[in-house]
Chain A
């Protein structure tokens, strides 16, 4: 056997290559079964970047389905609540070019508000709310838990008496960045205070 291999290096080389191929194939085959990943892990990463308003403005019934669709190749610019930040983050994650937002973005965060005197207790908004942020029961007044409301406005349309409105959320004061010096016009430069 060894003589044969020594005398026919071509056979020896081919045999060795075949042997290695079979070995690595077996290892890869085992790994494919043993370390199999269930589902698409990128979907979770995409979902973490979405704003979780579950508003359906992207055309999918919630953020998770949209994340799955993006993983399948859907456009990344369908999320108005996320705005440009989300598009940029998704573009970076997926290594694609950011696109302009498909739709209009409302920069002010809104929450639903039920004018409680007008509510007839029909429970239609309860069924529409994707995050169960409306409490109430049939023929009892409903109210929105403002902290849990994502501002998706899915409850506004089903209301038969139009008693739900979207109200802007008062944002608490916070420090603002100084205006960049480029924004000071030349005549103000000699004396202007940096705006507080």
Chain B
């Protein structure tokens, strides 16, 4: 009886330590946002948020810049989600259901492009975008973000379609349905959970993206939140409370959505990334 107790206590202690480590930095973001100046720079740190300082969130939004950043991020993220899933569903379907010349090349390419760092591609894409007039536009960012997230989206959706019995499609075909109708009426509804997971991945890929946004956007009014927040680092003009309030509003949606889609996202990412 006795050693069992000790084991259990140790396990609970371990879990609490892990949770503390996992949650603390975000907790600290909130505490910092909700601190008065005197608390912030006092000799002894205040470890709990001061709820009376809640106005900082409203101030941060009212100031206008932050709201514009978040709006731009939202446009880029929604655009990327729609485009990458729109392209990823037919690609995943082709890879799952057909055999054709060049299939192996496409599969290898999808794996290979996942090894390319954004920082490497930013130079040639810059000259490409200048030629097509896509610099300094949200459309350009939607296009490039979709291209970078498309491989993982397509591979996850291919895996999901692999899991649907072909018999379901056969019966629709016997009734004379075209391939596209089969895809949209039979497969798409059945893989809805995977589509939702890829939507989360694509959305937050674009929401978090920094390298392309900081290089391709010049007009301050078109900056997404990732660039706006990154500019806070090492800058001293903005009060740290405002900085943390904006960063928290930027972080919260990602955390909430990932919590919901966690299982599907993780399973999809490991399956898509390596098994191909």
A, B co-complexed: no
